[in-house]
Amino acid sequence: MSQLIENLHWLPAPPLDLKERMQNLSDASDLRQIANYALDTNQLSKLAGKLKALRKNSVDLRPLAAFKLGVVSNATTKLFSPALMATGLRYGLDLDVVEAEFNQVAQEAFSEESSFIGKRIDAVLIAIDYHGLALTAIPGDEERARKSVADCVAYLKAVSEKISSKTNAPIILQNIVPPAESFLGSFDPFLPGTLSWLITHVNHEISQLASSNISILNVLGLASNLGLANWHDLTQWNVGKLPFSLKYASIYADHVCRILSVRRGKSKRCLILDLDNTVWGGIIGDDGVDGILIGNGDPTGEAHLQVQQIALELRNCGIVLAISSKNEDAIARLPFREHPDMLLREEHIAVFQANWSDKASNIRAIAQTLSLGLESIVFLDDNPAERLQVRKELPEVSVPELPSDPALFGRTLLAAGYFESVGFSAEDRQRAEMYQQNARRADLMSNASDMESYLASLAMVATFAPFDASSRARIAQLISKSNQFNLTTKRYSEIEIAQLEQDPQVTTFQIRLTDSLGDNGMISVLICRKQDKVWDIDTWLMSCRVLGRRLEEAVLLEIVKLAKVEGVDRLVARYIPTPRNIIVKDHYRKLGFTLLNAQADGTEIWQRDLNGFEYGVVPIAVR
């Protein structure tokens, strides 16, 4: 387990010509290709040096997303900061690390000065280990022990809130890794006041601090998997105050960047599974339903059963499941229908692609059916040739390397952290079903005589409401994750959203959509700023799950109705292009806006005069 995690075995091994390729790096694409290999700490440091050199030479690093991470710690951070920068490339981030001075946590939080002021920080990592907390062992004194825990947690909370207030940025707060040593053996964790007891209770309270503004980095879980004695290198702490063994910088950086990626809206939403020798052992076309290996009583069958168990648990967490297999469709479906030990059934699968097309083509078709971007997809396949083909043709898709032993397939998939999350809502739980409803809508559309009759058959109802406290977390999540149908890709934290709710010059909309096939949940967010008789559309984003259903027209009609009530006679809006929002380039043109200005960076300013505005008819009821 520790070797799998430490060496990032889900990533391909570095090529033999890595050194030469490093020397010839010239753009963002080159950087990201190298970052997608399982690089060690030294190789990551060299890659970070190349990134800095390209920045210094003013090389355009798009489509990498610029991200500035503040880091504050009681320990030395300079030796793992390069690993953070290089690992960020793997997640599509041009990551700049702003480090506070060594062991200046309290000063950063509570003094007037700060290393982060004026730096436009996007997130702050608070990396405090047990050396940085006032935890003194007081075995057997439970009253003082509980007070010590409360004081430490109050300190961490205050530090987080003060730094977030200064930077207006979300916080990534580490939990605490205990030392490997214990004084009373097995009884040590159970005696109030021992260091292990104190840290256990501090970590429980830290978990309660999690919110849309504070993400908890589970360093304890990582260190436990690697081994506490391995994690804590006493020599490196004594010599250089390194918070953990430097050889783990690559996996630590990966865990940090997973959270940054989610906060930038780069989450995985779909797991596509191969069948033969992945979901079951054997080849269904040759071995038949009775001949494939699946289920208890056989080591290989149990290994593949675990893959199915993991897939189902991911589905319960909102991850949509799909199948891509080189097989005859009817034969591939037989185990799902007839094998008594199969956990996965057809009703769990949103899109079932079994044919003789190449895997890359099938994955494209699945993404289109589900209205998902390729970067939202993870593809699990035991065949190295298939994995290579998908990586080559669809570099946006995450394709884990798998070992030869199927018993490790599930562990490798989960260790890669593709499905990292910073929160979980009721809508997240229902997401898989929502995407399956989307697939059924696609089937319905293919059988409809025309688009108008299809949309009418959906009996859609849109509900409009202003931002409110109960929906704030979901609104923040949508704003952070939406990249394709997002006209400006501006990001707002939950704190900033709360401020918008109270601003009399700001009008907000949260929009939900239901239809005959189910509830789509909250699928659109708008923020409008009033300036005299003009509404400036600051933010307009929408879930791609509802593209092509004329919802944007219904939204415009509601905006205009409310704007006129407010005495507004003109709408102004912007389209700020990114590599991922090209699908909305003509959004305002299609809605009847006039282009006012096109700037050198591609930003377009649009306006719509509301005098004489004609209200059209859309196939969506509004309430």
Q: pLDDT band at residue 211, thresholds of 50, 70 and 90? A: confident
Instruction: Evaluate if residue 425 carries a pLDDT over 80.
Output: no
Instruction: Evaluate if residue 427 carries a pLDDT over 90.
Output: no
pLDDT of residue 448: 65
SS3 state at 580: coil
Mean pLDDT in residue range 194-223: 95
Q: Is 96 exposed, middle or buried (0-12, 13-18, 19+ CB in 10 A)?
A: buried
What is the separation of C-alpha 183 from the centre of its chain, rounded to a whole number of angstroms?
40
Side-by-side strand order, sheet with 604-609: 594-598, 604-609, 570-575, 534-542, 518-531, 506-515, 460-465, 620-622
Mean pLDDT in residue range 234-261: 96
pLDDT tens readout for residues 434-450: 777 767 676 666 666 67
pLDDT of residue 494: 82
Sequence letter at residue 122: D
Going by C-alpha positions, the residue among 170, 178, 378 that lies closest to residue 259 is 170
CATH 3.40.50.1000 fits domain 270-415: yes
pLDDT tens readout for residues 384-420: 999 999 999 999 999 999 999 999 999 999 999 999 9
Q: pLDDT band at residue 12, thresholds of 50, 70 and 90? A: very high
Distances from the Cα of 322 to the Cαs of 41, 292, 344, in angstroms? Answer: 36, 20, 11
Adjacent-strand bridge partners of 123: 69
pLDDT tens readout for residues 302-361: 999 999 999 999 999 989 999 999 999 999 999 999 999 999 999 999 999 999 999 999
Q: Which residue has 């699908």 as its token pair?
A: 583
pLDDT of residue 544: 79
Query: 64-263 and 270-415 share one CATH topology?
Result: yes
Instruction: Evaluate if residue 373 carries a pLDDT over 90.
Output: no
**pTM to 2 decimal places:** 0.83
Half-sphere exposure of 227 (CA within 13 A, CB side): 9
How far apart CA 64 and CA 260 sit, in angstroms, is: 13
pLDDT of residue 444: 66
pLDDT tens readout for residues 254-303: 999 999 999 887 889 999 999 999 999 999 999 999 999 998 889 999 99
pLDDT of residue 227: 96
Q: 429, 37 in Cβ contact below 8 A?
A: no
What is the residue extent of each domain of the chain?
Answer: 64-263, 270-415, 458-622
CATH class of 458-622: alpha beta
pLDDT tens readout for residues 92-133: 999 999 999 999 999 999 998 889 988 999 999 999 999 999
Q: What percent of the chain has pLDDT over 70?
A: 98
Q: What percent of the chain has pLDDT over 90?
A: 77
pLDDT of residue 595: 95
Pick the CATH number of 64-263 from 3.90.1150.10, 3.40.50.1110, 3.40.50.10420, 1.20.1250.20: 3.40.50.1110
